[in-house]
Amino acid sequence: MDLTSYERSKTIKSKSMSLKMKRLVPLALMAIVAGNFFMENQEASVARMAEEDMIGRALQFASNSMDFYELVGDGRCLDASSNGYDWQYIDKNIYTVEECAKQCARRLLMEEHVGMMYDDTNAKCYCLWDNDEMPERFANKGDLTLIGSGPIVSAAVVNATSDTTLDCFKKKTSAMAPAVDSYKLLSECSSEDESVNIDVTSWTGVTSVEGCASKCLRFSLYSFHLGFEYDPNVLTCDCQFLEGEAPHIRVLPKSSERKTRVKKKDMRAARKAGNKKATELPSTCMSKKGYEEPDPSLRIDPATLAEDRKQIWINEIHYRNQGPDTPYIEVIGPYGMDPNGFKVIFYQARNGRQFSDSYDLSDDGILTNMHYNNGWGFHVIDIPPHKIRKGKMGGDGVALVYEDTECVQFFSYTHTGLNHTFKAASGPCENVVSTPMGVLEGRLTPEYQSLQLVGGPGGAYEEFEWMGPLNATKGSVNVGQTLTPTDPVLPAPAY
């Protein structure tokens, strides 16, 4: 078998990695987990476990999961001493190796997860763990009697009855950015507020800062994870959390220890007292890299736009609702104005690039057959659901542009609870930073509602603000929006 590809009845060509883990952790997924998913001071709360599950699903679907696994060979996965690994099976039929990789990718950030085995004959998938380190939540769906430890080094048919249909894959650590890249160094540990209570998950026997970062990386996407402290004197690694928010022991490996409501200064004093003979070396403290908002000065300045650019804008949007989505965008402008050159385009927040098709406002005379209100006309663009993103991972964007060179209006929207701003990386809005709407639609939003610009009186986008969800005013002036008469006010169209 060619170990650079996976072959059985058909050849599945290997794909180049399209998304490095370094993008998964600090960019795209940080937007998800900064949402309000946890409830204060409730250990193992349903909300916190929902956040943990969302993180796992994000890792599962954010990229081609096969990029993070490498084929070793036929048979059972073995360590350097030819021992098999503890395994957890996926409790349903898995019909492709790619689907198996997606299932196991939910454990990618856990250092103890070492690889996977796939049985295409029986449609079975097994996620593999270092010896005795499988979290309790998975223990009832696997075998904890094996003693394999460390990285997978080989594959072999150990049991002629069960192993002949297995293929072994190891976790490809080279496809993941160094764990320490998800943290930033603090100048000194004592600069932190040591009187504040925190929760801690601790490991002993950790020999480096990088090793400590690898332990804590599994938490780097949790909104309640603060950072870590590494003490080289006692080889202790403490992953730190908001008070009352340490992950439940069921999701932790047995080698860790969970401590709740402790003070940093008391923890350091206890370690020092218990290790009087140790050479005193400074501890290393690192905080989790959070979301860093792009420079707001790179947003569109309406004062720099030509007057004729200001006269057309996106006035209403609907992108997410309960049941099948029925998205649309409403554009407003002076009745009879020629919209030639104006387009609506969409952006992905996770990489800043354009998404799907653009919508040319000059097609089919869009602005010449508008409804009439005080000299203003309206046109609605109905959008196929698969042509607009739903605002996942903290937000996506929509822009009104002119002549494919000028970014006239650019805002970001979400359905996850926190609306990030981001910088466009391509197209007419390249290097322009979006303006967050500040309101959102979710999966429970009724189909008959939308997000709308209200306020005024005004005759330009910046003179209104986004509100909603409100009952839709598709194709007409928004409730609570006062438009100044256009100059000149054109006669109402005859119907």
Task: Quickly state the pLDDT bin for 351 (edges 50, 70, 90).
Answer: confident
Return the bridge partners of 82, or none: none
Query: Which tokens is 121 given?
Result: 């004959």
Quick: pLDDT tens for 411-462: 999 876 556 788 999 999 999 999 988 888 888 899 999 999 999 899 999 9
Q: Residue 52: helix, strand or coil by DSSP?
A: helix
Q: Phi and psi at residue 50, in whole multiples of 5°?
A: -65, -40
Nearest alpha carbon to residue 311 among 236, 375, 365: 375
Closest CA to 193 of 247, 243, 248: 243
| Least confident interval from 61-70, 217-226, 360-369 | 360-369
Listed residue (201, 242, 193, 195) closest to 42, CA to CA: 242
Lowest mean pLDDT among 46-60, 89-103, 309-323: 46-60
pTM for this model (two decimals): 0.53
Q: CB of 69 within 8 A of CB of 101?
A: yes
Only one residue has tokens 């730190």, namely: 240
Show the CA angle centred on residue 376, arms to residues 371 and 385, nearest 5°.
60
What distances in angstroms separate CA 376 from CA 18, 381, 454, one per listed residue? 45, 17, 15
User: Which one-letter amino acid corresponds to residue 449?
Assistant: Q
Which of 1-5, 309-313, 481-485 comes out lowest in average pLDDT? 1-5
Instruction: Report the alpha-carbon distance of residue 14 to residue 66 in Å, rounded.
Output: 8
